[in-house]
Amino acid sequence: MITGASRGIGAETARILAGRGDHVIINYREKAKRADTLAGEIIAAGGSASAAGADISDEDSARALIDGIAQQFGRLDVLILNASGGLERNAAAGYAMSINRDAQTRLARLALPHMPSGARIVFVTSHQAHFHGRKPVPAEYEPIAASKRAGEDALRAMIPTLTTHGVTLHTVSGDMIDGTIIVQLLERRNPDAVAARRDTAPLPTITEFATAVAEASTSPAESGHTTYIGGPDYLTTEPALS
């Protein structure tokens, strides 16, 4: 299952995984038509997909999502934590931490009993969040970066528990990803911040980043490994974080 998969990185990851023969569950919060259209496109191309609506920041909705998957499929082999938020206009105070930390760990805990040994959790993040506290962050993105770093830390704290179930955690961190809604929102609020990243190096594309996310779902890397995409200055001026 891929959270926040009706568009952008999540949607492209779904296409890639379906193309290799996986059944993909496209989680969405509100855009049922968009998710159903994506599932239909995947099926028309010879793949297997279904859509499952849920607001993962709501505990009851998240629980119903996992219960539905367990009832329909019996297990969950891969959980890709792609959905995030907090940059939306008029987002409530505390929403960034609710969606980027609390929702991520809660969904992982709910899914874990249904994940067989050998299953994988993939956490999708940004360099601005992964290196939070060590690298400058655009002011508009600070709450998101801090909350996503908190979410990553909380998931990493679960590794001993995941290990007892035979489940591994893999993080994929990228620079600003060209064409994503996050970059579009940042360009409206702070175009200089996005331009500065473009001046440093070409921004990764959605396809490039989604390919890395898909590969992380089956990578033989040990639990806790991080894959980095783009942003070479993040990786060369200071030691990489785990």
pLDDT tens-digit series, residues 75-123: 999 999 999 988 777 777 789 999 999 999 999 999 999 999 999 999 9
> H helices of 84-158, where?
95-97, 103-111, 127-130, 142-157
Q: What is the DSSP code (8-state) at residue 99?
A: I
For residue 188, tell me if it sits in a domain.
no
For residue 34, tell me if it sits in a domain.
yes
**pLDDT value for 240:** 46
* Span 44-60, average pLDDT: 97
Going by C-alpha positions, the residue among 237, 194, 230, 196 that lies closest to residue 212 is 230
- Cα of first residue to Cα of last residue in the chain, in angstroms, is 25
For residue 180, tell me if it sits in a domain.
no
Token pair for 231: 């942003």
For residue 234, tell me if it sits in a domain.
no
For residue 110, tell me if it sits in a domain.
yes
Which residues span the domain enclosing 70?
8-175+204-228
Number of domains within the chain: 1
What is the DSSP secondary-structure string of 67-81? HHHHHHHS--SEEEE
**pLDDT value for 236:** 66
For residue 240, tell me if it sits in a domain.
no
Q: What is the CATH number of the domain that holds 27?
A: 3.40.50.720
The kind and range of the H/E element at 27 are strand 23-28
For residue 33, tell me if it sits in a domain.
yes
For residue 1, tell me if it sits in a domain.
no
pLDDT tens-digit series, residues 141-167: 899 999 999 999 999 999 999 999 999
Task: Report yes or no: 175 and 127 within 8 Å, Cβ to Cβ.
Answer: yes
Of 174 and 92, which is predicted with more confidence?
174
